Amino acid sequence: MIRYINCFRKKSDVSAEEFREYWNGAEYNELIERIAAFYQTVRYAKNLTLRVEMGQKLISDRGMGEPYDGIIEYYWDNAHQLSALYETPEARTLGEQVNKYQSGFIDLTRSTAFFTEDGN
């Protein structure tokens, strides 16, 4: 299984509540679903980070930095078709739409994305 993981941090001028409103908004949900369908994923997940006492304790005890505010993951059995799909005009249009929406609440300069492979 191949997985593409997006780890997002909110903009500094966006409150946690505002971030959640954008994140859970119908427009964003529709965009993420369209991306998953376009790139022919077998599964996707969109998750918010829980700010709970135990999480903060683990971070503090281990000397780690602050967690990301949200994570989106896309899954494929293989990713051979991604490159061809990514170069299409449809992909560019979809990318522009999601970037425009995310620009209201996500700081992409402090966010990251990467691929992983299931090692089992």
> Can you give the CATH number for the domain in which 54 is found?
3.30.70.100
**Alpha helix (H) residue ranges in the chain:** 16-23, 26-38, 53-62, 82-86, 89-102
Q: What is the pLDDT of residue 118?
A: 85
Please state the pTM of the whole predicted model: 0.90
Structure tokens at 4: 């593409």
65-96 per-position pLDDT tens digit: 989 999 999 999 988 888 889 999 999 999 99
Total domains in the chain come to 1
- Rounded CA-CA distance 120/118 in Å is 6
Range of the domain at 109: 2-117
Mean pLDDT of 40-62: 93
Q: Is the pLDDT of residue 40 over 90?
A: yes
Mean pLDDT of 4-30: 96
Band of pLDDT at residue 120, cut at 50, 70 and 90: low
Mean pLDDT of 18-40: 96
- The DSSP output letter for 6 is E
Q: What is the pLDDT of residue 79?
A: 81
How many CA atoms within 13 Å lie on the side-chain side of 2?
13
